[in-house]
Chains A and B, each alone.
Chain A
Amino acid sequence: MSAMERRYARHLQLPGVGREGQRRIEAASVEARGEGLEGWVARRYLEAAGVGEVKALGGPIEGPAWATDELREETSGAVTRGAIEALRRLREALERR
C-alpha cells in the first residue's frame, strides 16, 4: 500500500468518495469562508483531506439555519461551523468533473 493509500484510506473506503473522488479532491482549488477559529478549522480539514489548493475567503460562514440556534457557544460553534464549511466545499469538489 502506498503512502497516499494509507493516508487517505478512510476516503478510499467511503461510498461517494473512493479513488475517483480522492482524485477530484486533490485536483480541486477551493475557496473557504470563515474568519478566526472557524476559518482555520475549515482550511485545516480541507488541507488534511488533500485538497490541491485552499484559498481563504474570509468573512463569516453562512451556516445552515439550524446552526444559529444549535451552536451558541463561541468556540464549539466555530469548530462545528468550520467543519460544515469544509464539508460543503468537499462536496462541491466531488461533484466537479
Chain B
Amino acid sequence: MLPMVLLIGAGGVGTPAALALALSGRCRLRLVDDDEVELSNLHRQILYTEADLGRSKLEALKGALEARAVGVEIEAIPGRFLPETALELLAGVSLVVDGADNFATRFLASDACGLAGVPVVHGAALQWRATCFVAGSEGKRPCYRCLFEDLPAGPAPDCGTAGVLGPVCGVSGGLAAEAALRWLGGDRSQAGTMASFDGSTGRFRRIEVRPRRGCLLCGEEPGIRGLERARYTGAACGA
C-alpha cells in the first residue's frame, strides 16, 4: 500500500503540492480544509476555475486531482486541522505537508507531528517569497518552533494583507512536494533545512536550521506534552 500524505490546506500552496503529489503516483492523499472557492483565490489557486466559485475547495480539489491523476487514492476530510482532531487526522499518515494559511495551524501542525513522531514539511508564500521548511526526523530536532518559537503576539502579515504573486505559491507547493517525495523515497538530505526563493530576483537559498536548546517542542526541557487549545489562537488569512 502506498504511503499516506496528509495535506493541510487546499489553498495557494496546497493545490500545487497536491497536484505534484497526486501525479507522482507514489502516495495516497488525505486532504483537510474547510474553505469555499472565492474569486480572490483564482489568481493563484490554479486548479480552481470560475465554475468552482462557492464550491467547497475540498470537493473541487479532489475532482481536479482525480481528473488528472487517474487512480489516485484521495480521502477528503472537511473541517479544520484543530487540537481536538489533529491526532485522529494523523492516524496512518507517513508524512504531513502543511500548506496552512495561518500561524496557529502551522504551530499546531508542528506540535502534533512532533508529538506523534510524523515527519512534516511546511510550505509558505508571501509577497514575492516562497519558503519550504523540512523538520528534522519525526517532525522535530529541528522543528518549526526552533525557527519561530511561538505565535506572533499581534497581527502578522499574511497574503490577505500583504499580497502574494500566484506563481510564488506554486514554487512553495512544488518545493514542499519535492521534499515530501524525497523523504518518502528514503532521502533525508533536506531534513532540518529551510529553502527560500525570492521571486523578485530568482535567487534561491537553502540553509540548515539548528535545533534550539530552549525549544518548547523539542528542546532539552520540552514544555509541550499535549495539544491544548489555548496555545493555538490566531486569525486565519481567510483567502
Check A87 against B167 for contact (C-beta < 8 Å): yes
- Contacts known (A71-B178, A72-B178); A7 close to B42, Cβ less than 8 A: yes
Q: Is the interface of B mostly helix, strand, loop or mixed?
A: helix
In the complex, what's the smallest C-beta–C-beta distance from A31 to chain B, in angstroms? 16
- Contacts known (A74-B24, A79-B177, A80-B175); A3 close to B39, Cβ less than 8 A: yes
In the complex, what's the smallest C-beta–C-beta distance from B225 to chain A, in angstroms? 35
In the complex, what's the smallest C-beta–C-beta distance from B46 to chain A, in angstroms? 4
Check A77 against B170 for contact (C-beta < 8 Å): no
Check B178 against A11 for contact (C-beta < 8 Å): no
A70 contact from B40, B128, B180, B204, Cβ within 8 A: B204
In the complex, what's the smallest C-beta–C-beta distance from A47 to chain B, in angstroms? 8
Q: How far is the CA of A48 from the CA of B164 in the complex (A)?
A: 13
Q: How far is the CA of A10 from the CA of B173 in the complex (A)?
A: 18
Residues from chain A with a CB closer than 8 A to the CB of B163 are 9-15, 17
Check A90 against B127 for contact (C-beta < 8 Å): no
Residues from chain A with a CB closer than 8 A to the CB of B162 are 13-14
Residues of A at the B interface (CB closer than 8 Å) are: 3, 6-17, 37, 41, 44-45, 48-50, 64, 66-67, 70-84, 86-88, 90-91
Residues of B at the A interface (CB closer than 8 Å) are: 16-17, 19-21, 23-24, 39-40, 42-46, 127-128, 159-171, 173-175, 177-178, 180-182, 195, 197, 199-200, 202, 204, 206, 239
Q: Which 7 residue pairs of A and B lie closest in terms of their CB atoms, listed nearest first?
A: A83-B170, A80-B174, A14-B163, A13-B163, A76-B177, A79-B174, A76-B178
Q: What are 8 of the A-B contact pairs (CB < 8 Å)?
A: A10-B239, A11-B163, A16-B200, A70-B204, A77-B178, A83-B168, A86-B167, A88-B202
